[in-house]
Amino acid sequence: MQYTIRRLFSLIPVMLIVSIIVFLIVHLTPGNPAYLILGEDSSQESIEQLEIQLGLDKPLVIQFFSWLGNVLTGDLGQSVYSSEPVSQIIIDHLGPTFSLMVIALVLTLLIAIPTAIFVVWKRNTVLDPTFISISLLGVSIPEFWFAMLLVLCFGVAIPIFPVAGYIPFAEGALNWFYHLILPAFVLAAVEIGLVARMLRDGMLESVNQDYTRTAKAKGLKERIVLIKHVFFNALIPTTTVIGTTVAGLLGGTVIIETMFTIPGIGQLLIDSIYRRDYPVIQGVILFIAAVYVLVNLLVDLLYAVLDPRIRYD
Amino acid sequence: MNFKKYKKLSFTVIALILLVGLIGCGSESSGSNADTTDGQSSSEPTKGGTLNVAYGSEPDTIDWMYTGASATRDVGWHIFESLFALDNDYKIRPMIAESYEISDDRTVYTIKLREGVTFHDGSEVTAHDAVASIERWRQVSSVGTIADKYIENVTANDDYTIEIELSAVYEALLSDMSAPKSALMIIPSEIAEEAGEQPLKPEQLIGTGPYKFEKWERGEEINLIRFDDYAAREETDWGGLSGKKEAYVDEIKFQIVKDPQVMVNGLKTGIYDYAQSISPDLYDVIESTPNIDPATYINGYATITPDKSEAPFDDLKVRQALNHALDKETIAEATYGNEAFYTLDGALFSPEQKELYSEEGTDEFLAYNKEKAKHLLAESDYNGEPIQIMYSNDNDNYKKISQIAKQQMEEVGFTVELVSYEWATYLEKWADPKNWDLVVIGWSTRFSPNELGMLIQDTSSSGWYNSDHWNDLLDDWATAETNEQKQEVLGGMNRTVYDELPFIKIANEILFDIKSDKIKDYDSWVGPRFWNIWKDE
């Protein structure tokens, strides 16, 4: 418990550094929302007027501290375009991204774990090199390319899945799942390869350990040895990978959501960057950073659950 | 069992099989879904259905008076209407107005409104709403602020008559009032007063058009539904934004779709019925796809604008040398490829805009002459200092034009550098003459000489153009009453542009949308309009 609290406090400097970097990158990138809002034949006076209205005329340091002050009180500011509060905008876009990540993660675990166990079980057959090539392919295929291929195959040539779009869960779970299966699979492809490889390597390592031999010598069945002794011991490094997977999925949604027209956080981020909607960009990146850091913390805490030998206090 | 030997081999073989499988699957896409019906089952328009429109860019606002942006306009003109509107030939027709009279000294306009036109909130359009809308238009619209200089007073004479009093003769008033950019749309007076100079909020989007605003989920879609109490006009042959409008489809959904490939795939599989602004590269693919038709429309022209505030292009000779150095036929062909996507015409307006088009004074448009260019350049003060051509890399066309122009300019002795930025950065760089010598940019179709952004005096958009001659012509335009007088001014405008070369026109652009063949009676104009069309399902 004490450890958890200590870790939570250590998040503060991390988030502070993230916020400074985000703010600087966003504001030092050339381009200005005032020009974008008013268009190409706008007058200099109207641009200056709008800059004052948006608070962009003040020095960067002052802008930063007033933004930071607001963030500390939970106010992420409001969109330059729609004047909606940024926190509300993020919440509105959370559903699709969260759905996509959950399905992708479930797919990842559902495919990666049984595959890895099966491959280790049949470790001395042609299955193993096959598995390595496929997982290597999964890891190396660029997401956007794989997405395009899948859409062409299963959306256009053999139209079993929709090529784009998103249906909220509330409007029908089946339809929701049906629209997300293709993008979620693309998103999962990389992670499946990664998790399965990690699990396989970990399991192969413990296959040769003394305790495995002992278990076999006891007369336990191969299947039971594999699952009870080999699999669970390989779970620690795999958990780390799954932790980064969650973060990786969040990053991957940026591309996948744009390609499948899913109105989530990723698409929001891309749109806001093109429009230089500073408060939204800052809010979204800060949010992603917070999720990343929290997931890492969660993984660390999970170690103790998975392996009773690990104690933090 | 020794698999070691085969390990490497099977590795490669499996990888190859997988790759071939994936690619093979990708290339069999065409022609496999050709078995849809021909769509000639019925020719009588039927009501009903939802029209799914894949739209490439999300508007910042749907307030069609506040901005002239195409994304705003294309949604806005389904919801709003103005007193006067342009027909298919860009001729001015009454819309909410019934008739008008102009006093003998041509400074008082008396406009009678149609009775029984209702807003989407159920109230009737009265002269007070029209007056309040005009007042707001004078403040916020880029067109209205120009007309404002001539407008003395706007009053409601009775419930259905308004009177506009001018301070001087201004013959362009009706044309400004019907311009479909930053339009004089009629909204309820309370809303006009409440909104003032701010853009209308979603709940304030109340107009008189055949469709009414339903909801807007930012980043996703904008929904419009049929307005059942719409007061349609009678005229069926006017077209454009005027005449009879009938809403056949129940609902229009403008869905924000960024990826053009998604648009094409979505149309093929029936998710969308219409998709906006497709890359010309896909034209041949579309032509050979059975259930998708192309829809093309004019979209202004591409230009090269010199920065006239600084050397070397402050010198007319250098600008003339530039005009002679550019082989526009080659540039257009290499940039747009298919002749369906460009026309070579030197005038300030499109030939389709019959009221505004004049071919007078455009002889110097195609003036490619390398020797003359070299000669002019030698006579000028230009000594080979590098010239920066700036363009936005978001648009492939402007990139190609810049590259070819560079090559052609170097052939006559210019030293040229290309600089490209992403759109937001580009807009900011544009504002400062230090950042560029030439910009390559397209201007969408304009509807009045007052709206030509590349000629607005002393701004970055015109490259700091200052010309008394041009200002005189704008004054002449304000007082030109008859068609002949107008034609004369328009010819003079063309001539001035080629005499002074504030910008160099490359070619008229034609944009390309795609639509499903389920959409019937679609008629191309300057942008997509979804009334008078119906869906055959």
The residue type found at B492 is: G
Residue-wise over B271-291: b if at least 16 C-beta within 10 A, else e? bbbbbbbbebebbeebeebeb
Contact B14 A134 (CB under 8 A): yes
Strands (E), B309-402: 342-343, 386-392
**CA separation for the pair A85, A79 (Å, rounded):** 6
**CA separation for the pair B245, A135 (Å, rounded):** 58
Contact B3 A124 (CB under 8 A): yes
Q: How confident is the model at residue A130 (pLDDT cuts 50, 70, 90)?
A: confident
Task: Give, for B406, the enclosing helix (H) or strand (E).
Answer: helix B396-412
Nearest Cα residue to A121 out of A222, A210, A197: A222
Q: DSSP state, B120?
A: T
Tell whether A35 lies on the interface with B, counting CB pairs under 8 A. Answer: yes
Number of neighbouring beta carbons within 10 Å of residue A83: 10
**CA separation for the pair B506, B403 (Å, rounded):** 13
Torsion angle in degrees (nearest 10) through CA of A110, A115, A120, A121: 90
Contact B219 A271 (CB under 8 A): yes
Nearest Cα residue to B396 out of B360, B420, B427: B420
ipTM of this predicted structure: 0.76
Of residues A182 and B1, the one with the higher pLDDT is A182
Place of tokens 């929302």: A33
Give per-residue pLDDT as tens, B384-438.
999 999 999 888 899 999 999 999 999 999 999 999 998 888 988 998 999 999 9
**CA separation for the pair A128, B3 (Å, rounded):** 10
Angle at B428 between CA B426 and CA B429, to 5 degrees: 65
- Whether the Cβ atoms of residue B381 and residue B353 lie closer than 8 Å to each other: no
Residue in chain A closest to B431 (alpha carbons) equals A44
Two tokens, residue B451:
């709206």
Which A residues 164-183 touch B at CB under 8 Å? 164-165
Residues in chain A within 8 Å Cβ distance of B268? 156
pLDDT higher than threshold 50 for residue A129: yes
Which A residues 212-241 touch B at CB under 8 Å? none
For residue A220, give how far its alpha carbon lies from the nearest alpha carbon of chain B (Å).
Answer: 24
Contact A35 B15 (CB under 8 A): no
pLDDT given at position B19: 47
HSE of B354 in the Cβ direction (CA atoms, 13 Å)?
7
Q: How confident is the model at residue A253 (pLDDT cuts 50, 70, 90)?
A: confident
Residues ≥6 apart with Cβ < 8 Å to B264: B275, B278, B282, B285, B286, B292, B514
Q: How many CB pairs under 8 A join A and B?
A: 150
Residue in chain B closest to A29 (alpha carbons) equals B425
The residue type found at A213 is: R
- Whether the Cβ atoms of residue B157 and residue B424 lie closer than 8 Å to each other: no
Two tokens, residue A293:
């850091």
**How high does pLDDT run on average in chain A?**
86
For residue A165, give how far its alpha carbon lies from the nearest alpha carbon of chain B (Å).
Answer: 9
Residues in chain A within 8 Å Cβ distance of B3? 124-126, 128-129
Residue in chain A closest to B142 (alpha carbons) equals A42
Residues in chain B within 8 Å Cβ distance of A44? 431, 459-460
Residues in chain B within 8 Å Cβ distance of A149? 22-23, 25-26
- DSSP string across B193-229: HHHTTSPPPGGG----SSEEEEEEETTTEEEEEE-TT
- Whether the Cβ atoms of residue B404 and residue B338 lie closer than 8 Å to each other: no
Q: Is the pTM of this model over 0.95?
A: no
Sign of CA dihedral A108, A109, A111, A115: positive
Torsion angle in degrees (nearest 10) through CA of B245, B248, B253, B258: -70
Angle at A139 between CA A136 and CA A144, to 5 degrees: 135
Contact B10 A134 (CB under 8 A): no
- Whether the Cβ atoms of residue B443 and residue B454 lie closer than 8 Å to each other: yes
**CA separation for the pair B64, B141 (Å, rounded):** 9
Arithmetic mean of pLDDT, A47-58: 84
Sign of CA dihedral B108, B114, B116, B121: negative
For residue A240, give how far its alpha carbon lies from the nearest alpha carbon of chain B (Å).
Answer: 28
- Whether the Cβ atoms of residue B531 and residue B246 lie closer than 8 Å to each other: yes
Place of tokens 């999720």: A291
Number of neighbouring beta carbons within 10 Å of residue A107: 18
**CA separation for the pair B22, B19 (Å, rounded):** 5
Angle at A90 between CA A84 and CA A93, to 5 degrees: 110
- Whether the Cβ atoms of residue A115 and residue A107 lie closer than 8 Å to each other: no
pLDDT given at position A312: 67
Contact A89 B23 (CB under 8 A): no
pLDDT higher than threshold 70 for residue A176: yes
**CA separation for the pair B462, A43 (Å, rounded):** 11
Nearest Cα residue to A186 out of A133, A141, A125, A123: A141
pLDDT higher than threshold 80 for residue A94: yes
**CA separation for the pair B335, A251 (Å, rounded):** 36
Angle at B401 between CA B398 and CA B405, to 5 degrees: 140
Number of neighbouring beta carbons within 10 Å of residue B21: 11
Contact A82 B441 (CB under 8 A): no
**CA separation for the pair A193, A141 (Å, rounded):** 11
Residues in chain A within 8 Å Cβ distance of B289? none
Residue-wise over B326-336: b if at least 16 C-beta within 10 A, else e? bbbeebbbebb
Q: How do strand B438-443 and strand B386-392 relate by DSSP bridges?
A: parallel
Q: How do strand B211-217 and strand B92-94 relate by DSSP bridges?
A: unpaired
Nearest Cα residue to B489 out of B467, B459, B469: B469
> In terms of DSSP H, where are the helices of B119-259?
127-140, 144-148, 173-178, 189-195
The residue type found at B276 is: Q
HSE of B426 in the Cβ direction (CA atoms, 13 Å)?
24
Place of tokens 């990888």: B15
**CA separation for the pair B264, B273 (Å, rounded):** 10
Tell whether A134 lies on the interface with B, counting CB pairs under 8 A. Answer: yes
Q: Which of B7, B33, B428 is nearest residue A159 as measured by Cβ atoms?
A: B33
- Whether the Cβ atoms of residue B480 and residue B453 lie closer than 8 Å to each other: no
Q: Count Cβ atoms within 10 A of the Cβ of residue B461 and give its class: 0-12 exposed, 13-18 middle, 19 or more buried.
A: buried
Tell whether A2 lies on the interface with B, counting CB pairs under 8 A. Answer: no
Sign of CA dihedral B99, B103, B107, B108: negative
**Three-state DSSP class for B506?**
strand
Residue B294 CA to its chain's centroid (Å): 18
pLDDT per residue of chain B (537 residues) written in tens, 0 to 9:
444 445 554 544 454 455 444 444 444 333 333 333 344 445 788 999 999 999 988 888 899 998 888 889 999 999 999 999 999 988 999 999 999 999 999 999 999 999 999 999 999 999 999 999 999 999 988 889 889 999 999 999 999 999 999 999 999 999 999 999 889 999 999 999 999 888 899 999 999 999 999 999 888 899 999 999 999 999 999 999 999 999 999 999 999 988 888 898 899 888 999 998 888 888 888 888 888 998 988 999 999 999 999 989 999 999 999 999 999 999 999 999 888 899 999 999 999 998 899 999 999 999 999 999 999 999 999 989 999 999 998 888 999 999 999 999 999 999 999 999 988 889 889 989 999 999 999 998 998 888 888 998 888 889 999 999 999 999 999 999 899 999 999 999 999 999 999 999 999 999 889 999 999 999 888 889 999 999 987
Number of neighbouring beta carbons within 10 Å of residue A149: 16
pLDDT higher than threshold 90 for residue A74: no
Q: Which residues pair with A203 in a beta bridge?
A: none
Residue B346 CA to its chain's centroid (Å): 18
**CA separation for the pair B72, B79 (Å, rounded):** 11
**CA separation for the pair B480, B430 (Å, rounded):** 34
Which A residues 45-84 touch B at CB under 8 Å? 47, 81-82, 84
For residue A105, give how far its alpha carbon lies from the nearest alpha carbon of chain B (Å).
Answer: 24
Q: Which residues pair with B113 in a beta bridge?
A: B97
Residues in chain A within 8 Å Cβ distance of B23? 149
B401: left (phi over 0), alpha (psi -120 to 50) or beta: alpha
Report the share of chain A in percent with pLDDT over 90. 15
Task: Give, for A36, the enclosing helix (H) or strand (E).
Answer: helix A33-38
Contact A41 B266 (CB under 8 A): no
Q: Which of B23, B28, B269 is nearest residue A163 as measured by Cβ atoms?
A: B269
